[in-house]
Structure 1
């Protein structure tokens, strides 16, 4: 008898975020507890090493898909926190416009840009 298999959280498509809060998000009639990366290849569970000090390593999957991303929204939790210079430089070098904002603002902006079929991605830290 096999034990429980834990798989990486992944939704293979693009979908608007229906709700956020209580430590997670709802999208595509599903819910996810924790933070999210919304990329052209799909929606992934995301757990940055330190949500208060985001680093380039936290965005490896974003960098892998950089050719398909023009705008990256970074939901930094309840409050706006600036992105570290190393992150801003990495995104700029790949022609990605990075925009930090509260997670609520990131959800709303992501949904609008997604509806406009823009080359948008989002990295959103869950809020309670």
Structure 2
């Protein structure tokens, strides 16, 4: 029998509005997470990305795997808007997903509105200080 602490990937198994953001993380569902997050129909997952400029195809794999479950992807790029490179945008368009990039604060607010409207939305949110 193993003893000690078991470390698991950060995951909240459900959809929840984002209650707060800043200080390097997010608050949702009476919990907090330090770092960036992916908000998907399968739940809210920790996302090991600290800068949108460093995002590559591998960082988007989970989003593309679940793309059939949502129509809109909001990408919070940090403190300021950074456009998504055309080839990344094309991957989502081919999967039938509309992508909107914006600063993280605007993405959080938009995500919460669309979630409240019961829209099929996902979000990839870069943590901000």
Give the TM-score category using the shorter length. over 0.9
Q: For 1:1-128, what aligned pairs fall within 5 Å after superposition?
A: 2-48=3-49, 51-128=52-129
CA drift of 1:57 comes to 1.2
Contact 2:76/2:126 (<8 A) preserved: yes
Contact 1:25/1:126 (<8 A) preserved: yes
| TM-score (structure 1 length as normaliser) | 0.95
Deviating runs (4+, > 4 A) in structure 1? none
SS across alignment from 2:114: helix
| TM-score (structure 2 length as normaliser) | 0.94
CA drift of 1:3 comes to 3.3
Contact 2:18/2:108 (<8 A) preserved: yes
CA drift of 1:79 comes to 0.3
Instruction: Count the aligned residue pairs.
Output: 128
Question: What is the alpha-carbon distance in structure 2 between the residues aligned to residue 52 and residue 3 of structure 1?
Answer: 37
Contact 1:54/1:84 (<8 A) preserved: no
Question: What is the alpha-carbon distance in structure 2 between the residues aligned to residue 40 and residue 53 of structure 1?
Answer: 25
Contact 2:69/2:120 (<8 A) preserved: yes
Question: What is the alpha-carbon distance in structure 2 between the residues aligned to residue 9 and residue 81 of structure 1?
Answer: 26
CA drift of 1:9 comes to 0.3
Question: What is the alpha-carbon distance in structure 1 between the residues aligned to residue 101 and residue 80 of structure 2?
Answer: 10
Contact 1:75/1:100 (<8 A) preserved: yes
Structure 1 window deviating more from structure 2 (55-64 vs 32-41): it is 55-64
| CA RMSD between the two structures | 1.3
